[in-house]
A and B are shown apart, each in its own frame.
Chain A
Amino acid sequence: MPSPHRLANVPPMRAVRTGGAVPPALALLLGVVAILGVAWALLVPLAQSPDEDAHFGYAQVLAEDFRLPDEKPGPTYTSEHRLVAERARSFQTAQLLDSRTEWSALAEADWDRLQARLPRSARRRGGHADEFSGANAARTNPPAYYLLQAIPYRLAGGDVVDRWYAMRLFSVLLLLVAVAATWLLIGELTGRRRLLQLVGAAAVGLQPMELFIASSINPDAALMATWALAFWLGARILIRELTLPAGVALASVTALAILTKATSYALVPGVVTVFAVALSRERPRLGRFRLPAVASAAALGLPVLAWLVLSRSLDRAAVNAVAGGGGADAGPAVDVSLVNYLWQFYLPKLPFQTGIPPIERLPVFDVWVETGWGAFGWLEVRFPEPLYVLLGLLTAAVLLAGAVVLVRRRRPAELAVAAFMAVVTLTLLAGLHWVEYRSIVYDATSFNQGRYLLPVLPILGAAAAAALTLLPVRARPAVAGAALGGLFILQAASLAVVAARFYA
């Protein structure tokens, strides 16, 4: 099949050469996301987002000692980290709605007096495993995000709080990348229809959980950015053609995602699909695409291989520690089949099925919808349940509408993009469910959280854009306006519940 560009008789690289300034609608949306990102970053108390203490600890070890956290006996966190966590009551407030982080200025002044007396070495020698905290929970993550975070850590200087919040603000930049990439993805799919791009990109940039996670110290922020870029670059290749820069860019972004978090191996089957489709339609001229294909394979394979070799030489796990592994030797703790688990995750329990204690209610709602749309702090800060029902219904409606648009139009390039996205999403879901299944069987604990699906949020953005096109022509602007208004209110409500939980 000839390239779409040759159909249109337009040289593919013209796209890059004629690229102009940032479209005003995108610039304004990025401004909004930046304001909200700063608000989230500064409002949420220190270490009151999932595993933030572990992620800060990892970045600090890397920035101060230039090594990775390990499991050797020794302090998990540096003494300056422990001091501020104790004085700010970070540990004892996590997940406990009756507790509050310290809000006494006197207590802060007392901490300030103590921390000013700490020697420089108080920033070093963390990253081991002590009796109280155990090993750093993030230690099995690859180092890419933490290396990036070493930049604001180093630049910020000051005390531990100054550096902590500088790192959070830096993370917000990654969200801007995710929003811009979603804009570009939808532009690629819709032919630069600005209203559709605005609504789709806003669905990513104004989604409460996305903003909350992206504005804390968490490698998921980099995951959201790299996955959004991968979706855009993959769609670009499928809609246009495989070129050397496009192929290498997609492969590099995928490698960066893998070096950020091993979850990103889920991108690989999708990326392979992109290259397979792109090469199959160029079959008569396959020789021309040898260089892009080989260079792309190298751009993906070499960094990942280097990390695998390095982690092996350092005697480290090359991928994240898989839950449930620890208890495997002791035998199953819960007797449940994979099919039974999957059924009860997505559908109500049938009378003859035995219950699965860690997932008693319907997890597709409790996990994917509730903790995917908004569960702040250490997931203990929630909206009233009816709001999640509404958000769940809207999400389902938008995804369904996106599928309807796809089926109605049956355009090969769009179907290929949809296949790419579906392969990535299904691989991600398969991995998450397999880990949770093992976790339930061997440790009797659940694993999944809605935020693990945030990297595929650009797909929801694209579906939202597609859903708009199903509406009568005259209704589209009003519905787009209402959608933006709803996302704005959701943001305001999210910030309000967080402020009320921690400071009132």
Chain B
Amino acid sequence: MRKSALIAFALVACAGLAALAAVAATDERRLAFTLGVLPGVPVELRPDSEACQRPVWVSEPFDRVQLQIGTYGRAGQPLAVSVRTLGGRELAQGRLGGGYPDVSRPDIVVGEVDRGRVAVCVENTGHRKVALYGGPSLAAVGALWIDGSRTETDATMVFLRDEPRSLLALLPDIFDHAAVFKPAWVGAWTFWLLAALLFAAVPVLLGAGLRAALRADGDAPSGAPATASAPAQERPPARVR
């Protein structure tokens, strides 16, 4: 009896874990980080104007910047995107050709940028205005500056990697990210430990619980004698547990 319970438990747990691992190995993502700004406010960017979001804290290396751009119903204008140090030194740059549709979210390849504090600037190199989407400057640190003037908006910017990575491969990053804005005693190590407990200790403890329950029931299948024949009232109540 104990054996069949443990085998069933192990089979379901192993099959489930295998399915989870398969999903985690095939769910691929390119997100390096985001400013977390939803596109609600269009900010006009005239020809030759430059919009800079700064400072941007680079928490993970990225190769591309994704923007949301409006074109006022016309063909999109070419844009130049550059990533600079806060002192103005260019770290990476890329271009977006014209002709993209209105309210689109193109990725602009800029080359790899590692960590640090940077400014991400977008210059309209075309001859018609475009709109850079952003949101109210409520929460994100920094702001969007247009030709040197600060706005009350943050740009919607998502930073991506060239190569997608599976959730399984991202696990160390996930645990690093999870340790941020947590109590002082929590680090990535805490989540490695919890993962080990989840995938090793929890099934062992549940299996042991199953065994203990069956042993306490005297290996008689639960509910067989007492609940099938004797009414609850006629059983000695003995202990509550």
Decide: A89 near B36, CB < 8 A? Known: A42-B186, A161-B183, A194-B217: yes
A98 within 8 A of B: yes
In the bound assembly, the distance between CA atoms of A24 and B27 in angstroms comes to: 39
Q: Quick check: which of A25-33, A170-178, A439-447 contacts chain B, the rest being far away?
A: A25-33
Q: Which of A43, A85, A236, A413 contacts B240 (CB 8 A)?
A: A236
Residue numbers in A under 8 Å from B140 (CB-CB): 89, 92
* Pair A104/B17 contact, Cβ less than 8 Å: no
* Pair A8/B139 contact, Cβ less than 8 Å: no
Looking at the assembled complex, report how far the CB atom of A343 sits from the nearest CB atom of chain B, in whole angstroms. 37
- Chain B residues 30-83 with CB under 8 Å of chain A are 31, 33-34, 36-38, 57-59
* Pair B16/A191 contact, Cβ less than 8 Å: no
In the bound assembly, the distance between CA atoms of A196 and B12 in angstroms comes to: 19
* Pair B222/A193 contact, Cβ less than 8 Å: yes
* Pair A32/B117 contact, Cβ less than 8 Å: no
* Pair A489/B183 contact, Cβ less than 8 Å: no
A473 within 8 A of B: yes
B25 within 8 A of A: no
* Pair B214/A194 contact, Cβ less than 8 Å: yes
* Pair B182/A504 contact, Cβ less than 8 Å: no
B86 within 8 A of A: no
Closest to B186 in A: A42
CB-CB contacts of B134-174 with A at 8 A, as 1s and 0s?
01001111000000000000000000000000010010011
Q: Quick check: which of B96-104, B106-114, B119-127, B191-199 contacts chain A, the rest being far away?
A: B191-199
Interface magnitude class on chain A: 35 or more
In the bound assembly, the distance between CA atoms of A412 and B10 in angstroms comes to: 39
Decide: A478 near B4, CB < 8 A? Known: A100-B36, A183-B241, A488-B16: yes
Residue numbers in A under 8 Å from B170 (CB-CB): 504
CB-CB contacts of B220-241 with A at 8 A, as 1s and 0s?
0111101110111111111111
Interface centre among A32, A469, A477 (most CB of B within 10 A): A477
Q: Which of B9, B17, B194, B237 contacts A12 (CB 8 A)?
A: B237
Q: Which of B4, B177, B226 contacts A103 (CB 8 A)?
A: B177
Residue numbers in A under 8 Å from B57 (CB-CB): 104, 106-107, 110
In the bound assembly, the distance between CA atoms of A110 and B180 in angstroms comes to: 12
A76 within 8 A of B: no
* Pair B13/A489 contact, Cβ less than 8 Å: yes
Q: Give the dominant DSSP class at A's interface.
A: helix
In the bound assembly, the distance between CA atoms of A476 and B227 in angstroms comes to: 13
Looking at the assembled complex, report how far the CB atom of B106 sits from the nearest CB atom of chain A, in whole angstroms. 16
Residue numbers in B under 8 Å from A16 (CB-CB): 240
In the bound assembly, the distance between CA atoms of A254 and B10 in angstroms comes to: 40
Looking at the assembled complex, report how far the CB atom of B184 sits from the nearest CB atom of chain A, in whole angstroms. 6
* Pair B226/A191 contact, Cβ less than 8 Å: yes
* Pair A482/B12 contact, Cβ less than 8 Å: yes
Q: Quick check: which of A354-362, A418-426, A450-458, A493-501 contacts chain B, the rest being far away?
A: A493-501
Looking at the assembled complex, report how far the CB atom of A281 sits from the nearest CB atom of chain B, in whole angstroms. 11
Residue numbers in A under 8 Å from B1 (CB-CB): 474, 477
In the bound assembly, the distance between CA atoms of A186 and B224 in angstroms comes to: 15
Looking at the assembled complex, report how far the CB atom of A39 sits from the nearest CB atom of chain B, in whole angstroms. 5
In the bound assembly, the distance between CA atoms of A111 and B184 in angstroms comes to: 13
Residue numbers in B under 8 Å from A20 (CB-CB): 239, 241
Decide: A469 near B228, CB < 8 A? Known: A28-B208, A503-B177: yes
Decide: A473 near B221, CB < 8 A? Known: A36-B198, A492-B199: yes
Residue numbers in B under 8 Å from A183 (CB-CB): 241
A18 within 8 A of B: yes
Residue numbers in B under 8 Å from A110 (CB-CB): 57, 141
A486 within 8 A of B: yes
Decide: A489 near B12, CB < 8 A? Known: A46-B181, A162-B183: yes
- Chain A residues 6-47 with CB under 8 Å of chain B are 7-8, 10, 12, 14-16, 18-20, 22-26, 28-29, 31-32, 35-36, 38-39, 42-43, 45-46
Looking at the assembled complex, report how far the CB atom of B44 sits from the nearest CB atom of chain A, in whole angstroms. 23
Residue numbers in B under 8 Å from A106 (CB-CB): 57, 59, 115, 117
Looking at the assembled complex, report how far the CB atom of A376 sits from the nearest CB atom of chain B, in whole angstroms. 14
Looking at the assembled complex, report how far the CB atom of B194 sits from the nearest CB atom of chain A, in whole angstroms. 5
Q: Which of B4, B174, B238 contacts A15 (CB 8 A)?
A: B238
* Pair A482/B59 contact, Cβ less than 8 Å: no
Q: Which of B183, B201, B232 contacts A165 (CB 8 A)?
A: B183
* Pair A10/B183 contact, Cβ less than 8 Å: no
* Pair A24/B209 contact, Cβ less than 8 Å: yes
A59 within 8 A of B: no
In the bound assembly, the distance between CA atoms of A407 and B141 in angstroms comes to: 63
Residue numbers in B under 8 Å from A500 (CB-CB): 27, 167, 174
* Pair A478/B29 contact, Cβ less than 8 Å: no
Residue numbers in B under 8 Å from A26 (CB-CB): 241
A316 within 8 A of B: no
In the bound assembly, the distance between CA atoms of A488 and B201 in angstroms comes to: 11
- Chain A residues 392-445 with CB under 8 Å of chain B are 409, 411-414
A96 within 8 A of B: yes
* Pair B234/A7 contact, Cβ less than 8 Å: yes
Residue numbers in A under 8 Å from B176 (CB-CB): 103, 105
Closest to B220 in A: A473
In the bound assembly, the distance between CA atoms of A100 and B158 in angstroms comes to: 11
A253 within 8 A of B: no
Residue numbers in B under 8 Å from A499 (CB-CB): 174, 178
* Pair B198/A504 contact, Cβ less than 8 Å: no
The residues of B with any CB-CB pair to A shorter than 8 Å are: 1-2, 4-13, 16-17, 19-20, 23-24, 27, 29, 31, 33-34, 36-38, 57-59, 115, 117, 135, 138-141, 167, 170, 173-178, 180-184, 186, 190-191, 194, 197-199, 201-203, 205-206, 208-210, 212-214, 216-217, 221-224, 226-228, 230-241
Besides A29-B205, A92-B36, A162-B183, 8 more A-B contacts (Cβ < 8 Å) are A7-B233, A7-B234, A165-B183, A193-B222, A409-B231, A469-B228, A478-B5, A495-B198
Interface pairs (12), CB distance under 8 Å: A24-B216, A32-B205, A89-B140, A110-B57, A158-B183, A165-B183, A409-B231, A411-B232, A413-B232, A477-B5, A481-B8, A496-B24
The residues of A with any CB-CB pair to B shorter than 8 Å are: 4-5, 7-8, 10, 12, 14-16, 18-20, 22-26, 28-29, 31-32, 35-36, 38-39, 42-43, 45-46, 84-89, 91-93, 96, 98-108, 110-111, 158-159, 161-162, 165-166, 183-184, 187-198, 202, 236, 239-240, 409, 411-414, 468-469, 473-474, 476-482, 484-486, 488-489, 491-493, 495-496, 499-500, 502-504
